[in-house]
Chain A
Amino acid sequence: MTGTPADPVRELLDSNRDLCEQAVDPLEIAAALEDSGLAVDGAARYRHADVFGLAEELYARVPRRPPTREPLPPAEPLRTLPLAALRTAAAHLLPLLPAATLGGLPGGALAVLLGAGAGAAVERRSGGEEARGGAADQDDWGPEQREPAPARGGVPWAALGQGAGTGLLLALLAAAAPGAARAAALGAATAGWAAAWLRRFGRRQGGAATLGEYRSRLRFALPLAVLAQLAALAGLGWAVAGDTPATGWAALLVLGTLPLLAAAVRDAGRPTAAAVAVLTAAAAAALLTLPAPAHWLGASPSGALSAAALGPALLLAGTAWPPSTGPGAYR
């Protein structure tokens, strides 16, 4: 003859061990037990007045043991890096094309337009974590059809401005030192690569224990990326335009690093600052290449260009570095 076992809860506990170990609250166990078909008379079988008492006993009897090796939030896959490089390179080569072939004012204007268009096209939108509610999206007969969230509207002014500034800078550089311009546009590929790597690296460090540890891991990421970009630019310059004068080299290095810094600032949540810096550099460069100031300064066009872009680039670097060590820049 089989009577009721001495400890009926034990069986329930064994069959629901995972649930009990991972529950954060007795009520969570109660909800799960009710979902599995346990009602008031079921609780009575375990000598409890209601499901809540039973759930509390289960919660108290099982030590908390969360799932081991919970996965971290996924980072972007590796293959996005070459894609990002291609996108950035395309966005820089496109405005260079009319500037190099047509030249002069029409070429420059076309470069600005194309740059703005390309900048807006490759702009990347990111969002934070979106909360999900309970099981509210279901009616009695089945899942309710939900319309997908439409793309966010609005004109991407910051991306347009940054693209236009980039186009103008490239057009000016193409007029001053064609070889350096080609190298700078090609170097944008490595800038895109470096920015995507930085983003990915930052995301992958989410497993750090504390924010302090996170910062210490990220502290030298941006400077390293900038150094790598400079080295890549030097290599490209040597390969594509070996006979460029020193001022052309300076312009190449400054303009080639600018996309990386602007991308870092944009990721940190300040796209307007990035656009303003690039536009300022472009405007100053355009001003300095006008005949009167150029004659007055007596500098070569590419020298004026690098001098005009250096200030905004340094400012961008200063703006990008502190937030790039925090996790907020990689959402």
Chain B
Amino acid sequence: MRIALLTEGTLTNAQRGEGGWCGRLVGGLPEHEFRLYRLLPAGRPAPPSGVRGLHGVHELPMWGRRPGGRGPTALRRRAYTKAYEELVRALVTPGERAGFGPALYRLAALGREDEALPAFLASGHAHRALERVWRMPGADTAGGQPLVCDVLVAADLLEQCLRPLSAPWYGTGPAGLGGADLCHVVGGGPAALPALVARELHGVPFVVTEHGLHLREQYRGYRSAPYRWPVRALLLSFFRQLTEETYRQAAVLTPGSEYDRQWQQRCGGEAARTRIVHEGTAATERPAAGAEPGAPTLVWAGALEPGRDPELMLHAFARVRAELPAARLKVYGEEGAPGYLAHCTAIAGRLGVADAVEFAGRPRSSAAAWESGSVVVFSALAQRSPRLLADAMLSGRAVVSTEVGVAREVLGPTGLLVPPRSPRALAAACLALLTDHERRSRLGLAGRLRAQERFAVEPVVGAFREIYLDLVSRYPAFPARPGAPARPFARPAEYWVSGGSTPPPAPAGQAPRTPGPALAEAL
């Protein structure tokens, strides 16, 4: 099968190593031909993708200075303006949300014809269209009317977000998305735009895998972004419409956790098309942590920032220390908010536990961090990603966590869950484990087994092997002509055995069998 992996290349590789999630997927499914399509920040050298075994890598610079190019001719500009106005209307008028998808595809179609879309979106004509629709009566401007500076900033941001529409990827050749059997969007957001266009244009189905929802991150990130209210409203509306359209059109959604699934369902992902696939990690191969340290030690891990609430840990530790004077606390992680480390140190001093608390910074490896303690504690106010939690469970140490986000589904019965913001409950849970060696080791082992079962790489690869096969059996190999119904199972199973670039010799008396896209063109 020819599979196009679409991803926004910024959330890369550094900590995940060897191509990260995509690398493990491609490595686990050598029978398929993968091509990687990446959206990258412009003006910066592209980091290597690190994924081995790819049949091609295609990159598109996004975010940053607009590449040169001419705008549309005066005649075609009207069509552009109309499509753009419809897009903006779908963003700002609550009653016209349904127009988002068609306007998007119309813009993409126009841009494919004369490649003038980026220049148009940056032009004064687009600014005027945006302002006209945005200030129309009926538009949702509850937070105040947009000013000229808002129009300019929003137009700039929209232009950057829509850049994938004018990517040179939509051909039916071997390098184009039209030549792929399915698209796999990793990460959502603008990376889904090419998949949406390919689906509209060539009927290529797509899978969406998200670890940490793009839309939720936008809501969180834009709260501190330096944009005025109208810009924030317009852009978040754009991301929401884009996400809803993506979930509506996706053949299969594979969120990384039940917690993410609820968000996806809220944004229009049907339960029937959703399948939770946990994020596999290579750490399942790691041996369990060795002997516990001599003194009873708590390990806290994560970036030092208010959202992870190390303060709660310090307060709870003060109570633990009152009961168990030998107890120690190791805090791993760098400060995520400026000055927060000093703040935490001051709190530890005020609580009188400064001599027993060690702020150890970023650990050599996560395994070393877990090994240095007897119990691992997470006191965050929100746990959006299961990664760190699963990694701690794999060490075989008992885990205590606040019951937020993914904690309950990841830990299950193998760890202690306490309500957030409650030092008393956290201290009680820590004490219960620190004073009971048997219970600690039993929970630790159970947690390790549970994490090994759920977060291994093999089930992920297996799940996607099934999903891919299931998808191509339901979708025809080539787009049905308008009017003709799509015929599932129109191709025998052998058709999908990719034989490299040369098609198998045709039997006598039969038309030579060509690969799907070429056939589609012939039709």
- A residues at B contact (CB < 8 Å): 22, 24-25, 27-28, 30-32, 34-39, 41, 50, 52, 64-67, 70, 72-73, 127-144, 147, 149-150, 152, 205-211, 213-214, 326-328, 331
Known: A130-B64, A140-B387. A214 touches B217 (CB 8 A): no
Q: Which of B290-298, B300-308, B499-507 is found at the contact surface with chain A?
A: B300-308
Residues of B in contact (CB 8 Å), total 79
Q: How far is the CB of A277 from chain B (nearest CB, A)?
A: 20
Q: A146 to B188, alpha carbons, bound, how many Å?
A: 22
- Residue in B closest to A36 when the chains form the complex, CB atoms: B381
Q: Which of A36, A144, A331 contacts B152 (CB 8 A)?
A: A331
Q: How far is the CB of B164 from chain A (nearest CB, A)?
A: 13
A27 near B240: Cβ-Cβ < 8 Å = yes
Q: Which of B160, B381, B404 contacts A131 (CB 8 A)?
A: B160
B221 near A132: Cβ-Cβ < 8 Å = yes
Does B153 have its Cβ within 8 Å of any Cβ on chain A?
A: yes
Could you say which residues of chain A place their CB within 8 Å of the CB of B233? 24-25
Q: Which of B123, B149, B335, B403 contacts A73 (CB 8 A)?
A: B149
Q: Which of B143, B302, B382, B419 contacts A34 (CB 8 A)?
A: B382
Could you say which residues of chain A place their CB within 8 Å of the CB of B127? 211, 327-328
15 A-B residue pairs with CB within 8 Å: A24-B229, A27-B240, A32-B219, A37-B421, A72-B149, A131-B160, A132-B225, A133-B63, A134-B221, A134-B222, A136-B11, A139-B15, A149-B41, A206-B148, A328-B124
B232 near A24: Cβ-Cβ < 8 Å = yes
B405 near A141: Cβ-Cβ < 8 Å = no
Q: A209 to B151, alpha carbons, bound, how many Å?
A: 10
Could you say which residues of chain A place their CB within 8 Å of the CB of B144? 66
Interface class of chain A by DSSP: loop
A143 near B128: Cβ-Cβ < 8 Å = no
Q: How many A-B residue pairs have CB under 8 A?
A: 186
A28 near B236: Cβ-Cβ < 8 Å = yes
Does B437 have its Cβ within 8 Å of any Cβ on chain A?
A: no
B336 near A133: Cβ-Cβ < 8 Å = no
Does B350 have its Cβ within 8 Å of any Cβ on chain A?
A: no
Could you say which residues of chain A place their CB within 8 Å of the CB of B142? 64, 66
5 closest residue pairs by CB, A with B: A142-B334, A134-B217, A206-B149, A66-B143, A134-B221
A50 near B262: Cβ-Cβ < 8 Å = yes
Q: Which of B160, B307, B333, B404 contacts A141 (CB 8 A)?
A: B333
A39 near B387: Cβ-Cβ < 8 Å = no
Q: A328 to B262, alpha carbons, bound, how many Å?
A: 43
Q: A93 to B464, alpha carbons, bound, how many Å?
A: 68
Does B145 have its Cβ within 8 Å of any Cβ on chain A?
A: yes
Does B237 have its Cβ within 8 Å of any Cβ on chain A?
A: yes
Q: How far is the CB of B179 from chain A (nearest CB, A)?
A: 30
Q: How far is the CB of A249 from chain B (nearest CB, A)?
A: 38
Q: How far is the CB of B14 from chain A (nearest CB, A)?
A: 6
A127 near B148: Cβ-Cβ < 8 Å = no
A133 near B228: Cβ-Cβ < 8 Å = no
Q: A20 to B266, alpha carbons, bound, how many Å?
A: 19
Q: A213 to B151, alpha carbons, bound, how many Å?
A: 13
A327 near B152: Cβ-Cβ < 8 Å = yes
Q: Which of B15, B44, B145, B217 contacts A140 (CB 8 A)?
A: B15
Q: A128 to B63, alpha carbons, bound, how many Å?
A: 10
A214 near B148: Cβ-Cβ < 8 Å = yes
Known: A35-B220, A134-B220, A139-B15. A70 touches B301 (CB 8 A): no
Known: A28-B236, A37-B381, A131-B157. A64 touches B143 (CB 8 A): yes
Could you say which residues of chain B place their CB within 8 Å of the CB of A150? 43-45
Does B85 have its Cβ within 8 Å of any Cβ on chain A?
A: no
B149 near A37: Cβ-Cβ < 8 Å = no
Does B441 have its Cβ within 8 Å of any Cβ on chain A?
A: no
Known: A50-B262, A134-B214. A327 touches B148 (CB 8 A): yes
Q: How far is the CB of B307 from chain A (nearest CB, A)?
A: 6
Does B475 have its Cβ within 8 Å of any Cβ on chain A?
A: no
Q: How far is the CB of A108 from chain B (nearest CB, A)?
A: 34
Q: A280 to B381, alpha carbons, bound, how many Å?
A: 66
User: Given A131-B63, A143-B336, 8 other A-B contacts at CB below 8 A?
Assistant: A24-B237, A31-B216, A38-B404, A64-B143, A141-B301, A141-B362, A141-B363, A211-B127
Could you say which residues of chain A place their CB within 8 Å of the CB of B228? 70, 72
- Residue in B closest to A19 when the chains form the complex, CB atoms: B223
Does B210 have its Cβ within 8 Å of any Cβ on chain A?
A: no
Could you say which residues of chain B place their CB within 8 Å of the CB of A38? 404
- Residue in A closest to B218 when the chains form the complex, CB atoms: A134
Q: How far is the CB of B363 from chain A (nearest CB, A)?
A: 7
Known: A25-B240, A129-B157, A210-B148. A138 touches B303 (CB 8 A): yes
- Residue in A closest to B152 when the chains form the complex, CB atoms: A327
Q: How far is the CB of A157 from chain B (nearest CB, A)?
A: 14
Q: How far is the CB of B168 from chain A (nearest CB, A)?
A: 22
Q: How far is the CB of A61 from chain B (nearest CB, A)?
A: 14
Q: A210 to B142, alpha carbons, bound, how many Å?
A: 18
0/1 string, B306-339, CB within 8 A of A gives 1: 0101000000000000000000000011111000
Q: A165 to B300, alpha carbons, bound, how many Å?
A: 65
Q: How far is the CB of A59 from chain B (nearest CB, A)?
A: 11
B221 near A133: Cβ-Cβ < 8 Å = yes
A140 near B303: Cβ-Cβ < 8 Å = yes
Q: Which of A27, A32, A326 contacts B266 (CB 8 A)?
A: A27
Could you say which residues of chain B place their CB within 8 Å of the CB of A28? 219, 223, 236
- Residue in A closest to B144 when the chains form the complex, CB atoms: A66
Q: A167 to B296, alpha carbons, bound, how many Å?
A: 77
Does B442 have its Cβ within 8 Å of any Cβ on chain A?
A: no
- Residue in B closest to A71 when the chains form the complex, CB atoms: B228
Q: How far is the CB of A124 from chain B (nearest CB, A)?
A: 15
Q: A214 to B382, alpha carbons, bound, how many Å?
A: 45
A211 near B148: Cβ-Cβ < 8 Å = yes
Could you say which residues of chain A place their CB within 8 Å of the CB of B266? 27, 30, 52
A25 near B157: Cβ-Cβ < 8 Å = no
Could you say which residues of chain A place their CB within 8 Å of the CB of B303? 138, 140-143
Q: Which of A30, A66, A147 contacts B229 (CB 8 A)?
A: A66
Could you say which residues of chain B place their CB within 8 Å of the CB of A140? 15, 301-303, 333, 385, 387-388
Q: A214 to B233, alpha carbons, bound, how many Å?
A: 23
Q: How far is the CB of A252 from chain B (nearest CB, A)?
A: 36
Could you say which residues of chain A place their CB within 8 Å of the CB of B332? 141
